[in-house]
A and B are shown apart, each in its own frame.
Chain A
Amino acid sequence: MAHRRPRQGDRLDGFTLGARLHEGGMSAIFEATHPDHPFPLLVKLPFIDLGDRAEIVSFEMEQMILPRLTGPHVPGFIAAAGFEAPQPYLAMERIPGPSLLIRLRELPLPVEEVAAIGAKVALALAALHRQRVSHLDVKPANILFRPTPDGLRGDAVLVDFGLSHHGHLPDLIEEEFHIPYGTAPYMAPEQAMGQRDEPRSDLFALGVLLYQFVTGVLPFGEPLMLSGVRKRLWRDPVPPRRLRPDCPPWMQETILRCLEVEPARRHPTAAQLAFDLRNPDSVRLTPRATKLRRDSWLRVLERRVNLDRSPRRARTAATAHAAPIIAVAVDLREQTAPLAEALRASVSNVLRTLPGARVACLNVLLTGTLTGDAPLDEEGRSARVQRQAELRHWAAPLGLEEGRITFHVLEGSNAADALLDYAVANGVDHVVMGARANSMLRTMLGSVSGEVAAKAPCSVTVVRAREQAA
């Protein structure tokens, strides 16, 4: 069938096509404008005359999934037409600026920058996974950043949901093709075995990206055949520190944990990975952190021989519900012993039921203002150290091993704002805090817990010690 290819200036359902941004074998992407949407748009157009099944099904998947996604970590959906229309299309918000692809020529990047990029991408994945979607094609080309007014890199935005899996929608790709789809260098081993409902496949792909950005090389090369992709089921990568001796042990630990063959041995959630990337001191180091050689040929052979070759399906993954990040705000100034204990009891109840949970103990060091703590001079720094010690003292009865609990002294002029900023930036799932006991202070300053409860992006538990009978 002869079909005229769309070109700049064409009109489509009220959209005017602008410059062509990309043309692949099966589809084209154009800038676009629409009188009802006064911001930059992008229109994706599959070539219907070249009806490749994979392209059509992946277009259908993206058309189903994108309208259901919300938040800053995905491009906003605008409009779509399916294959029943003369020209199918998908219109969405255009995220200006290049993808991470452009950074490939600068590799390797400083470790701090890789950690910052990785944390942003992991937070974007956490937001996606909370919406029941696994991306399944995480790679530099599919990661962009929202521009911020100060020109710094803002939130990570994930694009191209053509290979994604939505837990509440039919998976057309799984049904249509019995071969795995994805991008070979970044594909998780379980994905190479046909499993499509594992959100931690995205953590593996991000681990490949972190490895690549730290060392400048891909951990599993660029296999052309599926058999080459499956090699990663038994052959572990060269440890990053061997290629880049200044890669700190915590970063190697984090990367190699992402690259574990069994999803259950990776970080339980993307939010926990983001947390580690933002808090290097909190990463619990294992022998993975410092190894300089790959596993012995005997172990590799053993893994290869014992490999479970059956297709992997429907293994349940940990969600944020099972492995939450819990932030406990401990107010060392006003807390009475009964409240400190009630707070501990509340946290330890959560920990008992959820072994995957981790705890961040927070305290806010107020700067300036009315009730301000000491300024951050020599004395201020010792105040921080003192508060850290007090937080550890409070937490000691919880008996948590390193890696499950971290301690943070935040700074700010307003306790509620500092706690809220922390909760947002670290993908916190649950805030636990005490109610301010002193009623005169509360009247004067307002309730911190009330404000946090009202504005937090997650659950907030406000703990109050049972009043003693007079």
Chain B
Amino acid sequence: MIAFLSDIHANREALSACLDHADRAGATRYVFLGDYVGYGADPAWCLRTVMARIADGAVAILGNHDEAVFRRGTALHGRAGEAMAWTREQLSPDAADFLKTLPLEYAEEDRLYVHADASAPEDWHYVFSAEEARRSLEATPARLTICGHVHVPRLFGLTATDKCTAFTPAPDSPVPLAPARRWLAVMGAVGQPRDGDPSACYALLDPGTSELRWMRVPYDVETAAAKIRRAGLPASLATRLFTGS
């Protein structure tokens, strides 16, 4: 069982709840899809945790917030920019060096892991619509692409007749990914959900049956939000965690 975690965004409480949940669910492999930092108050702890999992064989790729830590020219606007300025102060040079080593994408078997649109990973395009999903799917040979970035769980499928289907998965309900089709699965966010459900989201793939399950994990939102306020980060970054907006 492979666990996919995306958009952790320095939310320690959400990340530990998801990792505990995935460990108990029998995950034997971990894939981190980027955006470990930004928005939340625990960037250093979250990075250390991901690094420890990498030492145990996990895969991690780069997200746009991670890139912004070491690439000063990267434009993050508004609250994201404010939070990034704060995040940079919290991270040691080692942490920044670690982020620099992360790849933009990672392929294994017939699967591709990438933070955003796979047709131009370094441009960080969002995949919201079926047309955007098609652009990503047509750019690579992967049968199953797994990405994050939009913080909203979605599943897109490309049929033999070149139709692109869109589907919003229900929590904890396995979706069979028929091998004859090509799929793009968008993870929800671990650390800052935006689909109206405040619980943390990650996914489990059973490569044997090719079934993918989006899990929702309740976590201690109060603590995560209180830390954001204490750190002096924009207050709206704390309040949005309560509503998942």
Contacts and interface: CB of A to CB of B under 8 A. Distances in A.
Given A53-B161, A175-B163, A167 B180 contact: no
B176 A176 contact: no
Interface string B153-168: 0010101110101110
B175 A169 contact: yes
Grouping DSSP codes into helix (H, G, I), strand (E, B) and loop, the B interface class, with mixed when no group exceeds half, is: loop
A84 B180 contact: yes
B180 A170 contact: no
Interface in A195-237: none
Nearest to B130: A175
Contact of A176 (B161, B170, B180): B161
Contact of B163 (A83, A169, A171, A176): A176
B89 to A, nearest CB: 44
A83 B180 contact: yes
Chain B: interface residue count, which band? 10 to 19
A168 B173 contact: yes
A172 B157 CA distance: 9
Contact of B178 (A53, A82, A167, A171): A82
B179 interface: yes
Contacts of B178: 60, 63-64, 82-83
Nearest to A167: B170
Interface string A171-194: 110011000000000000000000
A168 B160 CA distance: 22
A175 B161 CA distance: 11
Query: Which of A53, A170, A176 has the most B CB atoms < 10 Å from its CB?
Result: A170
Nearest to A174: B165
Nearest to A51: B160
B151 to A, nearest CB: 21
A56 B178 CA distance: 12
A171 B163 CA distance: 13
A170 B179 contact: no
Contacts of B163: 175-176
Given A64-B178, A82-B180, A170 B159 contact: no
A170 B155 contact: yes
B165 to A, nearest CB: 4
A87 to B, nearest CB: 13
Contacts of B175: 168-170
A170 B167 contact: yes
A63 B178 CA distance: 9
Contacts of A168: 169-170, 173, 175
A172 B170 contact: no
Interface in B180-207: 180
A172 B166 CA distance: 9
Given A168-B173, A170-B155, A82 B161 contact: no
A175 B155 CA distance: 13
A172 B165 contact: yes
Contact of B159 (A63, A84, A171, A176): A176
B206 to A, nearest CB: 13
Contacts of A53: 160-161
A207 B169 CA distance: 32
B185 to A, nearest CB: 11
B176 A64 contact: yes
Contacts of A60: 178, 180
Interface in B33-76: none
Contacts of A83: 178-180
B165 A170 contact: yes
Interface string A140-152: 0000000000000
A83 B160 CA distance: 11
Contacts of A172: 157, 159, 165
Contacts of A64: 176, 178
Given A64-B178, A82-B178, A176-B163, 17 more contacts: A56-B160, A82-B179, A82-B180, A83-B178, A83-B179, A84-B179, A167-B170, A168-B170, A168-B173, A169-B167, A169-B173, A169-B176, A170-B167, A172-B165, A175-B157, A175-B159, A176-B165
Interface of A: 53, 56-57, 60, 63-64, 82-84, 167-172, 175-176
26 contacts: A56-B160, A60-B180, A63-B176, A63-B178, A64-B176, A64-B178, A82-B178, A82-B179, A82-B180, A84-B180, A167-B170, A168-B169, A168-B170, A169-B167, A169-B173, A169-B175, A170-B175, A172-B157, A172-B159, A172-B165, A175-B159, A175-B163, A175-B165, A176-B159, A176-B161, A176-B165
Interface of B: 155, 157, 159-161, 163, 165-167, 169-170, 173, 175-176, 178-180
- Sort A-B residue pairs by CB-CB distance and give the 4 closest, nearest first: A175-B165, A83-B180, A170-B167, A84-B179
